[in-house]
Amino acid sequence: MTISVMSSTAQVFRFATVFGEMCLAWEGTTADPRVMRIFLPKDAVAVRVPSSPIISPAVAELGARIQAFLAGEAPVFDLGILALDHCRDFQRQVLLAEAAIPRGWVSTYGRIAAHLGVPSASRAVGNALAQNPFPIAIPCHRAVRANGALGGYQGGLALKHSLLTTEGLTFDAQGRVLLTQVWY
């Protein structure tokens, strides 16, 4: 089955994770695929859409790396398979800055904005991350508010908390990340 993603028709690869089923929407050939979107378990599409009969080894490998990441491992993600060129320039800059934040670290929306040369754009950074089409591969869960509060996450705050905990981050009694490992 195919679905409409970002104005294109994409194939779907479904896979199980410790947090529930996910799917990758991709287009191109099996030898040269481009992932258009990663759907987290919370997304209705991940629940309703069956896998396509066509399987790309590179897409299956991305799914395996996401599974490993969600199981607590530290795989390296190849961003070259992601259709970042479908993102607007500012969002692409934000996503690449976010992708550079190492496992076990966080940054704040404001610090990311300052890193990009637009220190007053913390809200725009948050909006760009809220629309991240590639969660997990581009770890938008590593961005938090200036006071360590989680902010938002398209997979839900419980998943964001779990991901950060798995990466070794700690929280205060109010559920805020202790800002001891801050990038940028």
Per-residue pLDDT of the chain (184 residues; tens, 9 = 90+): 444 454 457 899 999 999 999 999 999 999 999 999 999 988 866 657 778 888 899 999 999 999 999 999 999 999 999 999 999 999 999 999 999 999 999 999 999 999 999 999 999 999 999 999 999 999 999 999 999 999 999 999 999 999 999 999 999 999 999 999 999 9
**Domain range summary for the chain, segments of one domain joined by +:** 2-81, 88-166
Report the distance separating Cα 149 and Cα 165, nearest Å.
Answer: 14
Q: Extract the tokens encoding 110.
A: 């404001």
One-letter amino acid at 41 equals: P
How high is the pLDDT of residue 176? 98
Q: Extract the tokens encoding 113.
A: 């904005």
CATH topology of domain 88-166: Arc Repressor Mutant, subunit A (1.10.10)
How high is the pLDDT of residue 44? 60
The Cα-based distances of 172 to 82, 109, 110, 144, 166 in angstroms read: 35, 19, 21, 14, 16
How high is the pLDDT of residue 111? 98
Contact 5, 37 (CB under 8 A): yes
The pTM score is 0.91
Positions marked catalytic: 140
102 burial type by CB count under 10 A (0-12 exposed, 13-18 middle, 19+ buried): exposed
How high is the pLDDT of residue 47? 57
Q: List the Cα angle 60/84/8 in 5-degree steps.
A: 75
